[in-house]
Structure 1
Protein backbone atom coordinates (compact mmCIF):
# COMPACT_ATOMS: atom_id res chain seq x y z
CA UNK A 1 0.00 0.00 0.00
CA UNK A 2 1.33 3.43 -0.89
CA UNK A 3 0.26 6.97 -0.07
CA UNK A 4 0.77 9.54 -2.78
CA UNK A 5 -0.49 12.90 -3.93
CA UNK A 6 -3.64 12.92 -6.02
CA UNK A 7 -3.14 12.86 -9.78
CA UNK A 8 -5.52 14.20 -12.40
CA UNK A 9 -6.48 10.71 -13.58
CA UNK A 10 -7.61 9.89 -9.99
CA UNK A 11 -10.60 12.24 -10.05
CA UNK A 12 -13.26 9.67 -10.98
CA UNK A 13 -11.93 6.98 -8.63
CA UNK A 14 -11.75 9.41 -5.68
CA UNK A 15 -15.32 10.53 -6.36
CA UNK A 16 -16.44 6.86 -6.38
CA UNK A 17 -14.58 6.22 -3.10
CA UNK A 18 -16.37 9.12 -1.41
CA UNK A 19 -19.80 8.28 -2.84
CA UNK A 20 -19.43 4.61 -1.82
CA UNK A 21 -18.65 5.62 1.77
CA UNK A 22 -21.46 8.17 1.92
CA UNK A 23 -23.99 5.59 0.74
CA UNK A 24 -22.72 3.13 3.34
CA UNK A 25 -23.35 5.61 6.15
CA UNK A 26 -26.64 6.99 4.83
CA UNK A 27 -25.01 10.33 4.10
CA UNK A 28 -25.88 10.39 0.40
CA UNK A 29 -28.00 13.49 0.80
CA UNK A 30 -27.89 17.26 0.47
CA UNK A 31 -25.77 19.04 3.03
CA UNK A 32 -22.92 16.52 2.85
CA UNK A 33 -20.03 15.92 0.45
CA UNK A 34 -22.59 14.07 -1.69
CA UNK A 35 -23.72 17.33 -3.26
CA UNK A 36 -20.34 19.09 -3.45
CA UNK A 37 -20.00 20.55 -6.95
CA UNK A 38 -16.23 19.87 -7.02
CA UNK A 39 -16.40 16.19 -6.06
CA UNK A 40 -15.38 15.11 -9.55
CA UNK A 41 -12.40 17.47 -9.85
CA UNK A 42 -10.33 17.07 -6.71
CA UNK A 43 -7.04 17.25 -8.55
CA UNK A 44 -7.82 20.81 -9.70
CA UNK A 45 -9.36 21.80 -6.38
CA UNK A 46 -6.23 20.88 -4.41
CA UNK A 47 -3.72 22.73 -6.58
CA UNK A 48 -4.07 25.96 -4.58
CA UNK A 49 -1.40 27.07 -2.13
CA UNK A 50 -1.63 25.51 1.33
CA UNK A 51 -3.98 22.75 0.14
CA UNK A 52 -3.33 19.14 -0.73
CA UNK A 53 -5.05 15.79 -1.23
CA UNK A 54 -3.50 12.34 -0.77
CA UNK A 55 -4.72 8.90 -1.76
CA UNK A 56 -3.85 5.44 -0.47
CA UNK A 57 -3.42 2.92 -3.27
CA UNK A 58 -3.49 -0.85 -2.85
CA UNK A 59 -3.27 -3.32 -5.73
CA UNK A 60 -3.74 -0.47 -8.22
CA UNK A 61 -6.96 0.81 -6.56
CA UNK A 62 -7.55 3.93 -4.50
CA UNK A 63 -8.88 2.70 -1.17
CA UNK A 64 -8.68 5.86 0.96
CA UNK A 65 -8.02 9.57 0.77
CA UNK A 66 -7.75 12.78 2.76
CA UNK A 67 -7.31 16.48 2.04
CA UNK A 68 -6.17 19.65 3.76
CA UNK A 69 -7.99 22.77 2.64
CA UNK A 70 -8.03 26.38 3.63
CA UNK A 71 -10.99 28.06 5.31
CA UNK A 72 -11.91 31.50 3.96
CA UNK A 73 -11.72 34.05 6.75
CA UNK A 74 -9.55 31.85 8.98
CA UNK A 75 -5.97 32.10 7.66
CA UNK A 76 -4.45 30.15 10.58
CA UNK A 77 -6.95 27.25 10.56
CA UNK A 78 -7.15 24.52 7.92
CA UNK A 79 -9.83 21.93 7.39
CA UNK A 80 -9.30 18.19 7.26
CA UNK A 81 -11.44 17.36 4.23
CA UNK A 82 -12.92 14.31 2.58
CA UNK A 83 -11.22 11.67 4.74
CA UNK A 84 -12.77 8.41 3.59
CA UNK A 85 -11.67 4.79 3.45
CA UNK A 86 -13.35 1.84 1.79
CA UNK A 87 -14.55 -0.81 4.21
CA UNK A 88 -11.68 -3.14 3.20
CA UNK A 89 -9.15 -0.48 4.24
CA UNK A 90 -10.56 0.18 7.70
CA UNK A 91 -8.61 -1.26 10.59
CA UNK A 92 -5.43 -1.55 8.52
CA UNK A 93 -3.74 1.58 9.90
CA UNK A 94 -4.05 3.44 6.61
CA UNK A 95 -6.28 6.13 8.16
CA UNK A 96 -3.61 6.86 10.76
CA UNK A 97 -0.96 7.11 8.05
CA UNK A 98 -3.12 9.46 5.99
CA UNK A 99 -3.84 11.61 9.04
CA UNK A 100 -0.14 11.76 9.90
CA UNK A 101 0.82 12.83 6.38
CA UNK A 102 -1.94 15.43 6.14
CA UNK A 103 -1.30 16.98 9.56
CA UNK A 104 2.47 17.12 8.93
CA UNK A 105 1.67 19.15 5.81
CA UNK A 106 -0.86 21.32 7.69
CA UNK A 107 1.64 22.17 10.46
CA UNK A 108 3.77 23.98 7.89
CA UNK A 109 1.05 26.55 7.26
CA UNK A 110 -1.60 26.46 9.99
CA UNK A 111 -1.98 26.63 13.77
CA UNK A 112 -5.10 24.45 14.04
CA UNK A 113 -7.11 21.93 12.06
CA UNK A 114 -10.93 21.87 11.93
CA UNK A 115 -13.24 19.16 10.62
CA UNK A 116 -16.93 18.45 10.21
CA UNK A 117 -18.56 15.02 10.33
CA UNK A 118 -21.80 13.28 11.22
CA UNK A 119 -22.47 11.83 14.68
CA UNK A 120 -23.63 8.49 13.25
CA UNK A 121 -20.16 7.85 11.84
CA UNK A 122 -19.19 6.39 15.21
CA UNK A 123 -15.80 4.93 14.27
CA UNK A 124 -14.75 8.18 12.61
CA UNK A 125 -15.71 10.18 15.69
CA UNK A 126 -13.73 7.83 17.95
CA UNK A 127 -10.78 8.04 15.54
CA UNK A 128 -10.70 11.84 15.61
CA UNK A 129 -10.97 11.98 19.40
CA UNK A 130 -8.24 9.34 19.77
CA UNK A 131 -5.97 11.56 17.66
CA UNK A 132 -6.40 14.71 19.73
CA UNK A 133 -9.33 16.43 18.05
CA UNK A 134 -11.54 18.23 20.55
CA UNK A 135 -15.28 18.26 20.01
CA UNK A 136 -16.86 21.68 19.48
CA UNK A 137 -20.37 22.76 20.47
CA UNK A 138 -21.01 24.47 17.15
CA UNK A 139 -19.45 24.76 13.71
CA UNK A 140 -16.60 27.18 13.10
CA UNK A 141 -18.69 28.70 10.34
CA UNK A 142 -21.81 27.90 8.36
CA UNK A 143 -20.98 25.90 5.24
CA UNK A 144 -22.86 24.02 2.56
CA UNK A 145 -22.45 20.92 4.74
CA UNK A 146 -25.51 21.69 6.84
CA UNK A 147 -26.15 17.98 7.47
CA UNK A 148 -22.85 17.68 9.33
CA UNK A 149 -23.72 17.85 13.00
CA UNK A 150 -20.39 17.17 14.73
CA UNK A 151 -17.33 19.43 14.65
CA UNK A 152 -13.76 19.10 15.90
CA UNK A 153 -10.63 21.20 16.26
CA UNK A 154 -7.02 20.20 16.92
CA UNK A 155 -4.13 22.51 17.77
CA UNK A 156 -1.18 21.87 15.45
CA UNK A 157 1.59 23.82 17.20
Structure 2
Protein backbone atom coordinates (compact mmCIF):
# COMPACT_ATOMS: atom_id res chain seq x y z
CA UNK A 1 0.00 0.00 0.00
CA UNK A 2 1.12 3.51 -0.73
CA UNK A 3 -0.06 7.11 -0.57
CA UNK A 4 -0.22 9.40 -3.59
CA UNK A 5 -1.92 12.67 -4.51
CA UNK A 6 -5.49 12.32 -5.72
CA UNK A 7 -6.08 11.96 -9.46
CA UNK A 8 -9.26 12.34 -11.52
CA UNK A 9 -9.44 8.55 -11.92
CA UNK A 10 -9.90 8.28 -8.11
CA UNK A 11 -12.94 10.54 -7.87
CA UNK A 12 -15.71 7.96 -8.28
CA UNK A 13 -14.07 5.37 -5.99
CA UNK A 14 -13.39 7.91 -3.27
CA UNK A 15 -16.87 9.43 -3.40
CA UNK A 16 -18.30 5.91 -3.06
CA UNK A 17 -16.08 5.15 -0.05
CA UNK A 18 -17.03 8.39 1.69
CA UNK A 19 -20.75 7.98 1.07
CA UNK A 20 -20.71 4.32 2.21
CA UNK A 21 -18.87 5.24 5.42
CA UNK A 22 -21.32 8.04 6.19
CA UNK A 23 -24.28 5.75 5.49
CA UNK A 24 -22.89 3.16 7.90
CA UNK A 25 -22.98 5.77 10.71
CA UNK A 26 -26.40 7.19 9.72
CA UNK A 27 -24.72 10.42 8.59
CA UNK A 28 -25.99 10.46 5.01
CA UNK A 29 -27.69 13.73 5.90
CA UNK A 30 -27.79 17.27 4.57
CA UNK A 31 -25.12 19.31 6.34
CA UNK A 32 -22.46 16.58 5.95
CA UNK A 33 -19.83 15.94 3.28
CA UNK A 34 -22.31 13.43 1.81
CA UNK A 35 -23.96 16.33 0.00
CA UNK A 36 -20.88 18.46 -0.75
CA UNK A 37 -21.13 19.64 -4.37
CA UNK A 38 -17.46 18.84 -5.05
CA UNK A 39 -17.58 15.28 -3.61
CA UNK A 40 -17.80 13.66 -7.05
CA UNK A 41 -14.91 15.79 -8.36
CA UNK A 42 -12.53 15.97 -5.41
CA UNK A 43 -9.47 15.96 -7.64
CA UNK A 44 -10.61 19.23 -9.27
CA UNK A 45 -11.14 20.86 -5.88
CA UNK A 46 -7.74 19.89 -4.46
CA UNK A 47 -5.75 20.49 -7.64
CA UNK A 48 -7.26 23.96 -8.11
CA UNK A 49 -5.03 25.44 -5.40
CA UNK A 50 -2.14 23.00 -4.81
CA UNK A 51 -0.18 25.39 -2.60
CA UNK A 52 -3.10 25.73 -0.14
CA UNK A 53 -4.81 22.31 -0.25
CA UNK A 54 -4.08 18.68 -1.04
CA UNK A 55 -5.68 15.26 -0.86
CA UNK A 56 -3.85 11.95 -0.62
CA UNK A 57 -5.31 8.56 -1.43
CA UNK A 58 -4.20 5.26 0.01
CA UNK A 59 -4.01 2.65 -2.77
CA UNK A 60 -3.26 -1.04 -2.90
CA UNK A 61 -0.90 -2.85 -5.28
CA UNK A 62 -3.57 -2.72 -8.01
CA UNK A 63 -3.97 1.06 -7.54
CA UNK A 64 -7.43 0.59 -6.00
CA UNK A 65 -8.38 3.36 -3.59
CA UNK A 66 -8.70 2.19 0.02
CA UNK A 67 -9.20 5.62 1.57
CA UNK A 68 -7.65 9.00 1.91
CA UNK A 69 -7.28 12.30 3.73
CA UNK A 70 -6.88 15.94 2.80
CA UNK A 71 -6.55 19.47 4.03
CA UNK A 72 -7.60 22.87 2.71
CA UNK A 73 -7.45 26.46 3.80
CA UNK A 74 -9.85 27.40 6.57
CA UNK A 75 -10.69 30.97 7.53
CA UNK A 76 -11.84 30.24 11.08
CA UNK A 77 -8.42 30.90 12.61
CA UNK A 78 -5.24 32.60 11.45
CA UNK A 79 -3.02 30.38 9.27
CA UNK A 80 -5.45 27.49 9.72
CA UNK A 81 -6.27 24.54 7.50
CA UNK A 82 -9.11 22.08 7.85
CA UNK A 83 -8.49 18.33 8.02
CA UNK A 84 -10.89 16.92 5.43
CA UNK A 85 -12.39 13.60 4.48
CA UNK A 86 -10.35 11.05 6.42
CA UNK A 87 -12.00 7.78 5.38
CA UNK A 88 -10.98 4.16 4.94
CA UNK A 89 -12.86 1.19 3.54
CA UNK A 90 -14.07 -1.16 6.33
CA UNK A 91 -11.74 -3.98 5.26
CA UNK A 92 -8.62 -1.98 6.24
CA UNK A 93 -9.92 -0.16 9.30
CA UNK A 94 -8.28 -0.99 12.62
CA UNK A 95 -4.90 -1.85 11.12
CA UNK A 96 -3.09 1.41 11.83
CA UNK A 97 -3.77 3.03 8.49
CA UNK A 98 -5.85 5.77 10.11
CA UNK A 99 -2.75 6.70 12.10
CA UNK A 100 -0.69 6.74 8.90
CA UNK A 101 -3.23 9.02 7.23
CA UNK A 102 -3.26 11.32 10.27
CA UNK A 103 0.53 11.58 10.36
CA UNK A 104 0.61 12.29 6.62
CA UNK A 105 -1.97 15.08 6.74
CA UNK A 106 -0.39 16.72 9.78
CA UNK A 107 3.03 16.73 8.08
CA UNK A 108 1.66 18.02 4.77
CA UNK A 109 -0.42 20.80 6.38
CA UNK A 110 2.64 21.86 8.36
CA UNK A 111 4.78 21.80 5.18
CA UNK A 112 2.19 24.06 3.51
CA UNK A 113 2.82 26.62 6.25
CA UNK A 114 -0.31 26.24 8.32
CA UNK A 115 -0.11 26.87 12.06
CA UNK A 116 -3.22 24.92 13.05
CA UNK A 117 -5.45 22.14 11.80
CA UNK A 118 -9.21 22.32 12.44
CA UNK A 119 -11.79 19.57 12.01
CA UNK A 120 -15.50 19.00 12.33
CA UNK A 121 -16.90 15.61 13.21
CA UNK A 122 -19.93 13.98 14.74
CA UNK A 123 -20.36 12.15 18.04
CA UNK A 124 -21.45 9.05 16.05
CA UNK A 125 -17.83 8.75 14.90
CA UNK A 126 -16.41 7.80 18.30
CA UNK A 127 -13.45 5.83 16.92
CA UNK A 128 -12.40 8.81 14.81
CA UNK A 129 -12.66 11.10 17.83
CA UNK A 130 -10.28 8.82 19.75
CA UNK A 131 -7.82 9.06 16.83
CA UNK A 132 -8.04 12.87 16.77
CA UNK A 133 -7.42 13.08 20.51
CA UNK A 134 -4.48 10.65 20.23
CA UNK A 135 -2.86 13.08 17.80
CA UNK A 136 -3.28 16.10 20.05
CA UNK A 137 -6.48 17.63 18.74
CA UNK A 138 -8.25 19.61 21.45
CA UNK A 139 -12.02 19.97 21.51
CA UNK A 140 -13.28 23.51 21.10
CA UNK A 141 -16.71 25.16 21.27
CA UNK A 142 -18.75 25.22 18.09
CA UNK A 143 -17.42 27.98 15.80
CA UNK A 144 -19.84 30.65 14.62
CA UNK A 145 -19.34 29.67 10.98
CA UNK A 146 -19.82 25.97 10.38
CA UNK A 147 -18.78 24.29 7.17
CA UNK A 148 -20.95 21.20 7.77
CA UNK A 149 -23.96 22.15 9.90
CA UNK A 150 -24.82 18.60 11.03
CA UNK A 151 -21.47 18.14 12.72
CA UNK A 152 -21.56 18.50 16.52
CA UNK A 153 -17.92 18.08 17.67
CA UNK A 154 -15.09 20.48 16.81
CA UNK A 155 -11.35 20.14 17.30
CA UNK A 156 -8.15 22.05 16.58
CA UNK A 157 -4.49 21.06 16.70
CA UNK A 158 -1.62 23.51 17.05
CA UNK A 159 0.89 22.70 14.31
CA UNK A 160 3.49 25.21 15.47
CA UNK A 161 4.65 22.96 18.31
CA UNK A 162 6.36 19.54 18.12
TM-score in same-fold range (> 0.5) = yes
| 1:114 aligned partner | 118
Structure 2: gaps of 5 or more residues? none
1:110 aligned counterpart, secondary structure = coil
Alignment of 1:63-102 (within 5 A): 63-72=66-75, 74-102=77-105
Alignment of 1:15-34 (within 5 A): 15-34=15-34
Kindly tell me the number of residue pairs found equivalent between the two proteins. 156
| 1:45 aligned partner | 45
| 1:57 aligned partner | 59
1:135 aligned counterpart, secondary structure = strand
User: What displacement does 1:74 show?
Assistant: 4.0
Moved over 6 A (4+): none
User: What displacement does 1:143 show?
Assistant: 2.8
1:64·1:95 contact (CA, 8 Å) conserved in 2?
A: no
User: What TM-score does the superposition give when structure 1 sets the normalisation length?
Assistant: 0.94
1:56·1:63 contact (CA, 8 Å) conserved in 2?
A: yes
User: What displacement does 1:75 show?
Assistant: 4.7
Structure 1: gaps of 5 or more residues? none
2 CA distance for matches of 1:73 and 1:144?
10
**Structure (1 or 2) with the greater strand fraction:** 1
